[in-house]
């Protein structure tokens, strides 16, 4: 048996630690941006899914079934390798001058996660008593305004725990972005491993960092829901 | 102000409103009573189109509810509706419950809306609860806030759908008192209730319903002393002395 020499300094100092740090930064940017976008997109899809207008409802339903039932990796590859064939040239030129890998990853993560978020929000809305909608409508609010001011604020409060789950899934899923060359945390850990052959250290460090990032995101969402959204006592 | 002409409504095969004809003048207080399942809640809910009617005409403040050109949201803003279960918004404070619609629909400034809310809360005796949340209030207090919320829109008509039926007995009086004051201020009111004391002392007219039909319409004195219809006689007997 060979003896493995542990060397934690490869992940705590020097150039390799800097790689990991920059990976953390990219993972954070990728995750937070996609979380915010997927939340609002999910909200939109949820409202469309509950529309009184049948074609809008069908469209949202189709979107949900389509994106929930395809592997995220395929979607990432689609946006990275496939989408430029259908996009206008000017748009492609612009994309190539920006960080196209990053953009493709954000688009894929956002769309994929929004499908799950939409379903969570919808079940939150369904658990709000229908009398709340009646009260809002009888004050003269339109259906959409009733949703905006009365139903969704309550539904989203109830949806916070499943939303946190979706945000954490998104954060962990962001590691798939390495496959298209986004230099996020997993990508950098892999780099460290291939330069140093210290795979145990590199991926242990990455694992722990993911735990910390997830805890931070959970903390941020919880803090936001406690402090910013005003308290709602039980019905 | 409110005019039902030959109004019908069905829930599947159930004929819940059967040829309803009813006129309510401005400033009038009408009580609708009848056994449960008689259609009285459905009737009051048709007035702001929470329940659409299937046949006949319903004209509210000169607007025909069946006319597709009628802006239902605009009409609803003129009609206060008070529910049996209060239906306050649990995520908003008492103040925000009352100011939301005046700010967003009437376009009042926050300051003006809050002034209106405060004077209404004083009127219903709850000025000290302005920053409470609905679930911190008793049922009677919630219902008084709900009345203040409806009044904040300065409605032309107030509808009450069994406003005291979900309340503990000791809280019924405080809500009825608010309604009585409102009636004496000249508000047009339709009240679905089993509170016969309120009907006899406050209302101008009582309509008795059963099987979706208005069986009898009379001044309260007449209705209580000398009900004409057999179903009304029996209803009054049951509700006034339930043990016999």
| DSSP state string for B102-123 | HHHTS---HHHHHHHHHHHHHH
Q: B91 to chain A: which residues are within 8 Å by CB?
A: 153-154, 157, 229-230, 232
Close Cβ partners of B225 (under 8 Å, ≥ 6 residues apart)? none
Residue A232: band (very low, low, confident or very high) from pLDDT cuts 50, 70, 90: low
Nearest-neighbour CA in chain B from A167: distance (Å): 24
pLDDT of residue A95: 74
Return mean pLDDT, chain A. Answer: 91
Q: B78 to chain A: which residues are within 8 Å by CB?
A: 140
Do B96 and A154 meet the contact criterion of CB atoms below 8 Å apart? no
Q: From the list B85, B134, B153, which residue is nearest A139 (CB)? A: B153
pLDDT of residue A85: 78
Instruction: Give the model confidence (pLDDT) of B182-208 as tens digits.
Output: 999 999 999 999 999 999 999 999 999
Q: What is the percent of chain B with per-residue pLDDT over 70, rounded to a whole number?
A: 100
Q: How far apart are CA A185 and CA B112, in angstroms?
A: 53
Q: Packing angle between helix A199-227 and helix A185-196, nearest 10 degrees?
A: 160
Mutation to test the A interface, candidates B77, B89, B97, B151, most A Cβ within 10 Å: B89
Q: Where are the domains of chain A?
A: 9-234
The topology under which CATH files domain A9-234 is MetI-like fold (1.10.3720)
Whether residue A230 is predicted with pLDDT greater than 90 in this model: the reply is no
Instruction: Give the model confidence (pLDDT) of A132-190 as tens digits.
Output: 999 999 999 999 999 999 999 999 988 999 999 999 999 999 999 999 999 999 999 99
Whether residue B108 is predicted with pLDDT greater than 50 in this model: the reply is yes
Q: How far apart are CA B134 and CA B200, in angstroms?
A: 32
Q: Model-level pTM?
A: 0.87
Close Cβ partners of A46 (under 8 Å, ≥ 6 residues apart)? A60, A117, A118, A119, A121, A122, A125
ipTM for the whole complex: 0.92
Residue of A nearest to B73 (CA): A140
Taken in order A88, A89, A95, A100, the sign of the CA dihedral is positive
Q: A233 to chain B: which residues are within 8 Å by CB?
A: 90, 133-136
Mean pLDDT of B208-216: 95
Q: A135 to chain B: which residues are within 8 Å by CB?
A: 81, 83, 87-89
């Amino acid at each position: 048996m060979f003896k493995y020499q542990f060397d934690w300094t490869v992940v705590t100092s020097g150039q390799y630690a800097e790689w990991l740090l920059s990976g953390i930064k990219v993972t954070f940017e990728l995750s937070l941006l996609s979380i915010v976008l997927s939340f609002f997109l999910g909200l939109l899809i949820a409202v469309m899914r509950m529309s009184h207008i049948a074609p809008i409802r069908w469209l949202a339903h189709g979107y949900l079934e389509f994106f929930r039932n395809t592997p995220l990796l395929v979607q990432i590859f689609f946006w990275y390798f496939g989408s430029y064939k259908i996009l206008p040239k000017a748009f492609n030129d612009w994309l190539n001058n920006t960080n196209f890998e990053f953009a493709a990853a954000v688009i894929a993560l956002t769309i994929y996660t929004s499908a799950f978020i939409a379903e969570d929000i919808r079940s939150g809305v369904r658990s709000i008593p229908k009398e709340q909608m009646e009260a809002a409508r009888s004050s003269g609010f339109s259906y959409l305004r009733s949703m905006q001011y009365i139903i969704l604020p309550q539904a989203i409060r109830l949806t916070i725990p499943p939303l946190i789950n979706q945000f954490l899934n998104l954060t962990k899923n962001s590691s798939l972005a390495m496959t298209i060359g986004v230099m996020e945390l997993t990508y950098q850990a892999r780099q460290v491993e291939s330069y140093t052959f210290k795979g145990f250290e590199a991926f242990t460090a990455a694992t722990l960092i993911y735990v910390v990032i997830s805890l931070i995101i959970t903390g941020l969402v919880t803090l936001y829901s406690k402090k910013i959204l005003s308290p709602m006592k039980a019905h | 102000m409110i005019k039902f002409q030959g109004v019908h409504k069905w829930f599947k095969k159930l004929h819940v409103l059967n040829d309803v004809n009813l006129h309510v003048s401005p400033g009038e207080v009408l009580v609708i009573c009848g056994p449960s399942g008689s259609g009285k809640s459905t009737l009051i809910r048709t007035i702001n189109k929470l329940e659409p009617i299937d046949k006949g005409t319903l004209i509210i403040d000169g607007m025909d509810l069946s006319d597709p050109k009628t802006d239902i949201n605009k009409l609803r803003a003129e009609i206060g509706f008070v529910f049996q279960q209060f239906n306050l918004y649990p995520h908003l404070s008492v103040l925000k419950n009352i100011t939301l619609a005046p700010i967003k629909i009437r376009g009042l400034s926050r300051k003006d809306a809050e002034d209106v809310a405060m004077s209404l809360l004083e009127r219903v005796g709850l000025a000290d609860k302005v920053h409470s949340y609905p679930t911190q209030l008793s049922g009677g207090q919630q219902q008084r806030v709900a009345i203040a919320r409806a009044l904040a829109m300065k409605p032309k008509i107030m509808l009450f759908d069994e406003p005291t039926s979900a309340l503990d007995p000791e809280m019924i009086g405080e809500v009825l008192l608010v309604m009585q004051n409102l009636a004496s201020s000249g508000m047009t009111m339709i009240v679905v209730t089993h509170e016969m004391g309120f009907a006899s002392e406050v209302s101008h007219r009582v309509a008795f319903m059963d099987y979706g039909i208005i069986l009898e319409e009379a001044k309260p004195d007449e209705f209580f002393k000398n009900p004409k219809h057999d179903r009304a006689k029996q209803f009054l007997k049951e509700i006034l002395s339930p043990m016999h």
